[in-house]
Amino acid sequence: MKNLKYIFILIIAIGLTHCDSFEDLEVPNYNNPDLDQVYSNVEDYPSLLSGAYSTWWNHCIGTNPNFALAPASETMNTGYGSWGATPYYRIPREPVPNQDGDRVLYPTCGGWFGYYQAIPTVNNILNKLVNDGLTVVIGEEDHTTSTLAHAYFLQGILYGHLALLYDKGFLVTENTDISSFDFEFTGYSSMMDFAISRIEQAIQICESNTFTDPIEMMPGNTFTNESLGRLANSYAARLLAYNARTASETQAADWGKILAFAQKGITTDFMVTSQPGWKGLAIERDPYSYLDVTLWGWTRIHQRLLNMMAPDDPNAVYPWPYGVSTLGEINSPDTRFDEYFTYNASIPWAKYATSKGYHIMSHYTFNRFSDLYDWGVGSVPFFLTTENDLLIAEALIRTNGDKGMAAGLINKTRVTSGNLPAADASDTNLMEELYYERFVELLMTYPLSGYFDRRRTDVEGMGLYEGTVRHLPVPYHELVIHSYDIYTFGGAGNEM
Amino acid sequence: MKKTPNRKGNFIPCSDKNIFRIMKISALLLLVCLLPVSASTYSQTKRVSFKVEQATMKETLHKIEQSTEFSFFYNDNLLVSENKYTLEVEDELITDVLEKLLSGKSLDYVINDKVIVIVPEKNQQTYTQQKLVSGTVCDDQGISLPGVTIRIKGKNIGTTTDPDGYFEIQAEIDDVLIFSFIGMREQEVIIQDYTPLTIVMENDLLRLEEVVVTGVVAQTQRKKLSFTVEKINSDLLQTVPAANLANSLTGKVAGIKISNNAGSPGADADIQLRGATAIFGSSNPLIIIDGILTEGRLSDINSEDIESIEVVKGASASSLYGSRAANGVIHIKTKRGSNLSSGSTEINYRSEFGASYIPFTPEKTTATNFIVSGGAVDYNTPSADGIYDNPYPTLTDPVGQFFNPGSYNTNYLSYSTNSQDGRTSLFGSLHYTDEAGVVKLTDGMQRTNFRINADHWISDKIKVTTSNLYSQSTIDQRAGGIWDLFYYADPDVDLLAPNEEDGSAYNVDPNHNNPRLANPLYLINNSKNFEERTRFLGHYAVQYKPLDYLDFSLAYGIDQISRNSFSLSPKGLLQADRDELTYGSIYKSHNNTTAQTVQVDGFFYKKLGDFLTKAKLQYLYESNEYSYFAGSGTHLAVKGMDVTSLEQASEDINISSYESAIVANNVSGVFNLVYKDKYIFDALIRQDGVSLFGANVRWQTFYRMSGAWRVTEDFRIPGFEELKVRASYGVAGLRPPFESQYETVGLSDGTITSPVAIGNADLKPSFAKETELGLDASFLNRFSFTFNYAHSFNTDQILEVPVSATTGFATQWQNAGKLESHALEASLKANLINSSDWNWDITLLWDRITQKVVELNRPGYAIISGGIFRIEEGQDFGTLYGHKWATSLEEVANQVPEGMAVEDYFTINNQGFVVRTTTIGTVDEEPIKIKDDNGNDKEMVIGSVIPDFNMNLSSFLTYKNLELYMLWGYQQGGETYNHMRRYMMINGVSSELDQTGKPDNEVKSAKYFDRLTSWNNSHFVEDASYVKLRELSLNYSLKENILKGFLGIERIRLGIVGRNLLTLTKYSGFDPETGKSEEGVDSNVLKFDLSSYPNYATVSGTIQITF
């Protein structure tokens, strides 16, 4: 038994002198890959770009800033909930908060961090393909050109959306050494110029090559050089047109270039199938959360839009009369009114709305695409041919082109869907008729089309409410990190 | 209980209490260093046989060692020049043999059990000049006490009492004998003559002699600690044993806070010791159970098994546990058979049966602001004046319909035994609890626990100990997510009405005011949502004591937790807000945690002159593996409640999984030095190598330095038995979350999405660096007082720091902040009455803890509810932020139109709010928010959750066999944000809206209240001060003298137990202690009241039978 003591002493001696021989302290994280793993296999690059598309997509139609700017555009209402959104649509308008909110749910943050999140993936892949000369060979097939085209297109639309939303941003490309980057801002015009130049590079690749994507880049979309090229052209037109902050900037835009892009644009609706990982509900945070647009009928069509479609009906009075909590159903000459919207007088919503202000009262919920918005079934109509048509029509009008053709494009929905009197080239309010179609037909396709339209339109009475922000400030977090002063926009005289 | 100790071996426990064992060890260790006094009874009866030829004295002694279990200690110089001789001994007393051996050699011996010290005869001669003092020691019941330590003050002389409580010691007149015994108050007796003494030891009501083992080098009496270690003994825990052990800690230690994030049966509680140490991350302490470093919390542990709980609050004491211990340590020891005396057996049965109920519910309005006509509320037509003064034609009691007194039932059976030779002991218990909670139709929690603790001495020097707990519980979670649906039910709804659609029970859409809100009873009745949890806790140790001053141990511990969750919302249910039937949804998940430790300890104990030294070296290996997976989906294939398969789902299929592993190698050394029992010095250093630390900083150091001075050992202070001052400085740590050091890129549904977090190879643990100053005093033989001041910096806070968007990453985990805490703690224990029939003990605890974020190397940020809590450099940790309603005209001076005086433009109304003067008494009257100079509502501090102080008072009053126990809690100050009240106002059901019976000039309109319901504002910050009667019990014991051996029953204890019976507070919600755990901050910090299962009261009757 006494020998045991030597055994114990031995065990302790081994224990204390051979700590390093115990289990290694290097423990891998199997839950998520790191960048080395991600970029180690060139065959994965198309898949990585697909991931970057999903990041872009989920922030395009996600909660922020859409939840704030859609009601600020007075096309949709939130009805309830804030997350910093209320100052964007409260009357009178006021400076919007730019503080330490949630990086996803806060209006100033969602787009900024969302779009920038995808940019390094694109930059890294461009760097590997362009600067390092790698080729994407999957099986025995070379997919380098399609990968490059997608990378340029993605880089363009990511910076394009940042330019649309923010007054300025950091321009970081595949040629930027982030460790020595000076973090000087680039203004929204210059940033959009860069974005368009990259989309043009994508278009050029599509026009000079023939390819089919090796994978489905976005749900329901396996692109060819032709379909990607068309989408890129339409997108370039959309970005160039919507980048204007004011009517004068709209008039100063290069409409000839917009026309050229749009005329080479999409011929079928660009839609993304709703599936896990790809948000299917516009202004969605989580499925079936209370930030959904139509679930429970909390979010309504803005009374201003209803008034535009039924100007003579007293129940469509705009602004909503103070102290009134209920108005009757509206009769509109536009047959789409009853098709797209549903009357719902339920008291709870009105009750919340009164505490937020009568300016957001409305009884109409959005019924178009209800399967999609209520249940996530189907595809999200993100870029309709109607939008492309109307961009062509607007460009024709603004470039003194064929107004008859423009009227015809307007009538494609105005007459066919709305049963309204046909627009004519001679109409003095042809641009108003065009914007009417934009507000009705594009509602909730791209959630911010209404906001961008009101921001840029030169049609009297269709613009943003006085004091509404015309773009967002760089988020608080980013300014603090680089020791910039905090600033914001909003309120009369401080719109941009 | 038998009192026939039969002690054998150096530290075999064989007395009738665990404390006997501890004293036995103490006595032996003491004797090794003491001069000879007397042989023990045991040794005097021991016979030996051996034979030596031509052997030296050393060889002879060695021969005795080989053939017996005796060990000899001697100075080599004593035996250096002796002759060789032959000796044969056959079955002779060891004392006789020693006499023969040492005769004529100027040597003498000292013997204690199996330790024999050879000493020069001159020492003996010294003592022969002294006289033999003898006597017996017993307790106040007259039962003799074995193992009592007796020593002569100021001399290195001591002994212990034998199994009959008898002792002998050589002493001189005027020597002071000190009698000490665990659990008894130390006594000093001056020798005046040599008549036999009879010493009656009194219970140590103030627990001065109590021994602790947590955070120290070895078991140490509290009076010899140089830092704070609190101890809660089983008597206090068993009086009102809580189903959730965490709750039974409340009010028993100064500076402890317990919050029930979800108060439902079986839910874990958040425990905070001496404030929060982390801005991000749990403040829950490390919980050690019988040596097992556990991963889970306390909700699986039943109180009845607990022998004692030690609570280590500060970094000084907890630094021994290194990077796991900045939040403190709770060390639980469960009962063991070795606590019994040798050859005895005890069986305990305890049963408790009672009911739980909600003692308070927020009131609802009795009037509505809608038109009432034809005996019904017209919910489509608001009244013109918008005032809530139209009485509801019928008022129902949705609260009463929703809550239901639920049964509370526990049954407990334990069996303990200790073998005749004291070598083998066993403790086994079986415990079943069924706690229904307070929500109708729900099943609450059912838990079955099975414990076996077994100990065995393989030899006199080797002991094996094992502890095993298997726990299985099922927890009904259906009441978890439906609270908001309940609070806002109209005051006239009938939750029990059938559905008009299909006649099924519990009308799904009873709310007229807000049809979106479904009847929670319908949801509960038509769903499944439960968790099945199993847990195994095991600890296996071998102790080896080759020498009296040396001890080695090798231990393995395991904590294995498995949790399976299942929820089902069947296809075809009615929906409150839609005409369609539901498609159904299903969810399943599995979590598994296996945490293992291997620990090797080497312990040294030696008295060197006047210095008592203790030292320990320890190596600890830790391994923790966690895995999780879950699947869910909607649109189920078939209807019904029997659906269990995930394959039923056809839409929204979602799968997720996670796994992590932690490896740690830790080494530590602790050194403790006590000089003449007066001056105490303690130091430790620990190095942790942990896989969670960044690759560049994988080994981190923690340490402690502390000292204490027992003033009353140097100066006699009239009335004071003990006065000690102490100071310590210690550093402990908290580990980063698993994923924090890694560079990660997101994955979602088979797609690599985007970068998530930048890796950080320099990520260290956070450190709690605490200076503690303290004072311990006992005086007038009735009072003990402890005071602590602790100042700590919690540096290197582990925070997720946002990084520039241009990196593509969202965040990086960094050491990016510092918290500063000041803690004042005081406790006063008093034995107010102590007579043969009456005894009354009280304990008063007080603490005040303030905390501030003093450094934040990231932008300030806000959490919970869009930012009601703000983490900001320079702000208290626990600051409430939001908009504030003006209550003085100065606050709105910047809102007055040019040319007007503020007194004219604004007025303070009868509720104390500033309103526009012209609107008073009109429907447009509404409170005004404070604005900044740009006209924006000002974001500002609107409150603080930090209380001014907390107090707890426990009272233990006994009269003969009757025992009354109470525990009161008191919090002064501190605020809770009552978000539930806000939602009740929004939904038109809050009693605050009710204008019934108010004079015209006090009536407010709905618009007024609508305005008040704006997000995060000062109106819902409520004073959370309270006085609570937390525990109450009345027990009566029928003892052996009454039972007279009936059925072998030793004692029957009958009682009534109450928990959370009374709360006195101005707080308008269920409970001012409500908190919410979110975004990494626990519910002790975030006093935010929304959707929490409320704490409830329980009243029950108990019976305990001891055989």
Q: Would you state the pLDDT for residue B804? A: 86
Which of A118, A181, A476 lies at the smallest CB-CB distance from B754? A118
The answer to whether the beta carbons of residues B313 and B228 sit under 8 Å apart is yes
* Phi/psi at A21 (5° precision): -80, -10
**Given CB atoms, is B617 within the 8 Å cutoff of chain A?**
yes
The distance of A97 to chain B (nearest Cα, Å) reads: 9
Q: In A, residues 298-357, which contact B (CB 8 Å cutoff)?
A: 325-326, 345-348, 351-352, 354-355
Asked whether residue A335 is assigned to any structural domain, the reply reads no
**A415 and A477 both lie in a single domain:** no
Peptide bond into A319 cis (omega under 30): yes
**A388 and A477 both lie in a single domain:** no
The answer to whether the beta carbons of residues B881 and B871 sit under 8 Å apart is no
Cβ contacts of A477 on chain B, cutoff 8 Å: 802, 859
The distance of A178 to chain B (nearest Cα, Å) reads: 8
Phi-psi region of B785 (alpha: psi -120 to 50; beta: other; left: phi over 0): beta
Q: Would you state the pLDDT for residue A281? A: 63
Q: Would you state the pLDDT for residue B1062? A: 92
Residue-wise pLDDT tens digits, B1022-1072: 999 999 999 999 999 887 667 677 777 878 889 999 988 999 999 998 888
* B277 token code pair: 């140490």
Residue-wise pLDDT tens digits, A375-402: 667 788 889 999 999 999 999 999 999 9
Helices (H), B384-519: 398-402, 483-487
Give how far the C-alpha of residue A191 lies from the chain's centroid of Cα atoms, to the nearest Å: 17
* Phi/psi at A386 (5° precision): -60, -40
**A92 and A238 both lie in a single domain:** yes
Q: Average model confidence (pLDDT) for chain B?
A: 84
Residue-wise pLDDT tens digits, B701-750: 999 999 999 998 888 888 888 899 999 999 999 999 999 999 888 877 77
Q: Is the pLDDT of residue B13 over 60?
A: no
Asked whether residue A344 is assigned to any structural domain, the reply reads no
- The CA angle B478-B482-B486, to the nearest 5 degrees, is 130
Q: Would you state the pLDDT for residue B1023? A: 95
Helices (H), B724-775: none
Helix (H, G, I), strand (E, B) or coil at A487: coil
Residue-wise pLDDT tens digits, B491-519: 888 899 999 888 999 998 888 767 767 88
DSSP labels, A113-178: HHHHHHHHHHHHHHIIIIIS----EETTEE-HHHHHHHHHHHHHHHHHHHHHHBSEE----TT--G
Q: Is the pLDDT of residue A350 over 80?
A: no
Q: Would you state the pLDDT for residue B209? A: 64
Buried b (16+ CB within 10 A) or exposed e, A445-472: bbbbbbbbbbbbbbbeebbbbebbbbbb
E strand spans, B519-640: 528-547, 550-569, 585-608, 611-636
**A99 and A46 both lie in a single domain:** yes
The answer to whether the beta carbons of residues B363 and B1069 sit under 8 Å apart is no
Cβ contacts of B805 on chain A, cutoff 8 Å: 112-113, 116-117, 170, 475, 478
Q: In A, residues 142-171, which contact B (CB 8 Å cutoff)?
A: 170
- Report helix angle A188-208 to A144-165, nearest 10: 160
Cβ contacts of A16 on chain B, cutoff 8 Å: 600, 617, 619, 667
Residue-wise pLDDT tens digits, A291-317: 445 455 567 889 999 999 999 999 999
Q: Is the pLDDT of residue B915 over 90?
A: yes
Q: Is the pLDDT of residue B431 over 80?
A: yes
Asked whether residue A412 is assigned to any structural domain, the reply reads yes
* A164 token code pair: 């649309």
What percent of chain A has pLDDT above 70? 86
The distance of B574 to chain A (nearest Cα, Å) reads: 15
Q: Would you state the pLDDT for residue B750? A: 73
Task: Return the higher-pLDDT residue of B66 and B562.
Answer: B562
Facing residues of B290 across strands?
none
Contact B744 A25 (CB under 8 A): no
Q: Is the pLDDT of residue B113 over 50?
A: yes
Number of H helices, E strands in chain B: 15, 59
Average pLDDT of span B920-932: 88
**Given CB atoms, is A477 within the 8 Å cutoff of chain B?**
yes
The answer to whether the beta carbons of residues B194 and B581 sit under 8 Å apart is no
**A253 and A388 both lie in a single domain:** no
E strand spans, B84-186: 85-93, 107-112, 115-120, 131-139, 149-152, 158-160, 166-171, 176-180
Distance between CA A345 and CA A363 in Å, rounded? Answer: 5
**A87 and A158 both lie in a single domain:** yes
**Sheet arrangement for strand B187-190:** B158-160, B149-152, B176-180, B187-190
Asked whether residue A277 is assigned to any structural domain, the reply reads no
Give how far the C-alpha of residue A214 lies from the chain's centroid of Cα atoms, to the nearest Å: 26
Contact B754 A277 (CB under 8 A): no
Q: In A, residues 95-114, which contact B (CB 8 Å cutoff)?
A: 95, 97, 99-103, 112-113
- The closest of A237, A298, A235, A227 to A267, measured between CA atoms, is A227
Residue A415 is part of which domain span? 384-445
**A205 and A141 both lie in a single domain:** yes
Asked whether residue A45 is assigned to any structural domain, the reply reads yes
Q: Would you state the pLDDT for residue A5? A: 54
Task: Return the higher-pLDDT residue of A203 and B804.
Answer: A203
Q: Is the pLDDT of residue B992 over 50?
A: yes
When scoring B509, B745, B986 by the number of chain A Cβ atoms within 10 A, the one with the most, hence best to mutate, is B745
**A433 and A475 both lie in a single domain:** no
User: How many A-B residue pairs are in contact by the CB < 8 A criterion?
Assistant: 210
Q: Would you state the pLDDT for residue B34? A: 37
Q: Average model confidence (pLDDT) for chain A?
A: 86
Distance between CA B825 and CA B388 in Å, rounded? Answer: 48
**Given CB atoms, is B544 within the 8 Å cutoff of chain A?**
yes
Distance between CA A224 and CA A212 in Å, rounded? Answer: 4
Task: Return the higher-pLDDT residue of A230 and B21.
Answer: A230
**Cα-trace Rg, chain B:** 34
Asked whether residue A224 is assigned to any structural domain, the reply reads yes
- State the pLDDT confidence band at B322, using cuts at 50, 70 and 90: very high
Residue with tokens 């047109």: A241
β-strands B879-882, B940-944: how paired? antiparallel
When scoring A4, A42, A124, A274 by the number of chain B Cβ atoms within 10 A, the one with the most, hence best to mutate, is A4
Facing residues of A120 across strands?
none
Residue-wise pLDDT tens digits, B654-675: 899 999 999 999 999 999 999 9
Asked whether residue A86 is assigned to any structural domain, the reply reads yes
Contact A347 B380 (CB under 8 A): yes
Residue with tokens 């990196």: B807
Q: Would you state the pLDDT for residue A9? A: 59
Q: If you measure CA to CA, which chain B residue comes closest to A121?
A: B754
Which of B546, B600, B859 lies at the smallest CB-CB distance from A5? B546
Q: Would you state the pLDDT for residue B26? A: 35
Contact B806 A325 (CB under 8 A): no
The count of other CB atoms within 10 Å of the CB of residue B1073 is 27
Contact B806 A32 (CB under 8 A): no
Asked whether residue A159 is assigned to any structural domain, the reply reads yes
The distance of A240 to chain B (nearest Cα, Å) reads: 23
- State the pLDDT confidence band at A332, using cuts at 50, 70 and 90: very high
Distance between CA A166 and CA A155 in Å, rounded? Answer: 16
Cβ contacts of B806 on chain A, cutoff 8 Å: 116, 119-120, 170, 172, 178, 181, 183
Q: Would you state the pLDDT for residue B349? A: 94
What percent of chain B has pLDDT above 90? 41
Distance between CA B1083 and CA B604 in Å, rounded? Answer: 43
The count of other CB atoms within 10 Å of the CB of residue A103 is 22
Cβ contacts of A23 on chain B, cutoff 8 Å: 621, 623, 663, 665
- The closest of B203, B196, B204, B149 to B177, measured between CA atoms, is B149
Domain total for chain A? Answer: 2
When scoring B378, B752, B932, B940 by the number of chain A Cβ atoms within 10 A, the one with the most, hence best to mutate, is B752
Q: Would you state the pLDDT for residue B785? A: 93
Task: Return the higher-pLDDT residue of B20 and B796.
Answer: B796
Q: Is the pLDDT of residue A272 over 50?
A: yes
Contact A12 B380 (CB under 8 A): no
**Given CB atoms, is A34 within the 8 Å cutoff of chain B?**
yes
The answer to whether the beta carbons of residues A437 and A415 sit under 8 Å apart is no
Q: In B, residues 921-950, which contact A (CB 8 Å cutoff)?
A: 934-936, 939
Contact B986 A355 (CB under 8 A): yes
Which strand (E) or helix (H) includes residue B745?
A: strand B744-748
**A207 and A249 both lie in a single domain:** yes
Average pLDDT of span B336-349: 84
The count of other CB atoms within 10 Å of the CB of residue B799 is 25
Contact B807 A48 (CB under 8 A): no
* B806 token code pair: 């241009």
- State the pLDDT confidence band at B903, using cuts at 50, 70 and 90: very high
**A427 and A474 both lie in a single domain:** no
The answer to whether the beta carbons of residues A301 and A75 sit under 8 Å apart is yes
Q: Is the pLDDT of residue B150 over 80?
A: yes
**A181 and A218 both lie in a single domain:** yes
Distance between CA A73 and CA A462 in Å, rounded? Answer: 10
Q: What CATH code is carried by the domain that includes residue A238? A: 1.25.40.390
What burial class does residue B901 get, using C-beta atoms within 10 Å of its C-beta: 0-12 exposed, 13-18 middle, 19+ buried? exposed
Which strand (E) or helix (H) includes residue A397?
A: helix A385-398
Lowest mean pLDDT among A10-19, A429-438, B655-664: A10-19
* A43 token code pair: 């065959």
Distance between CA B1074 and CA B263 in Å, rounded? Answer: 9
Residue-wise pLDDT tens digits, A160-197: 999 999 999 999 999 998 878 889 999 999 999 999 99
SS3 breakdown of chain A: % helix, strand, coil, rounded to 5? 50, 10, 45
Residue-wise pLDDT tens digits, B372-427: 988 888 877 778 788 899 999 999 888 888 888 888 999 999 999 988 887 899 99
Q: Which of A445, A462, A490 is the last residue of a domain?
A: A445
* Phi/psi at B999 (5° precision): -65, 155
Give how far the C-alpha of residue B210 lies from the chain's centroid of Cα atoms, to the nearest Å: 19
Q: Would you state the pLDDT for residue A10? A: 59
What burial class does residue B76 get, using C-beta atoms within 10 Å of its C-beta: 0-12 exposed, 13-18 middle, 19+ buried? exposed
**A136 and A264 both lie in a single domain:** yes
Residue-wise pLDDT tens digits, A60-91: 887 788 888 888 999 988 765 566 788 888 88
Q: Would you state the pLDDT for residue A352? A: 57
Residue-wise pLDDT tens digits, B172-218: 888 888 888 766 777 788 887 777 888 888 766 556 667 777 778 77
When scoring B621, B804, B811, B1011 by the number of chain A Cβ atoms within 10 A, the one with the most, hence best to mutate, is B804
Q: Is the pLDDT of residue B7 over 60?
A: no
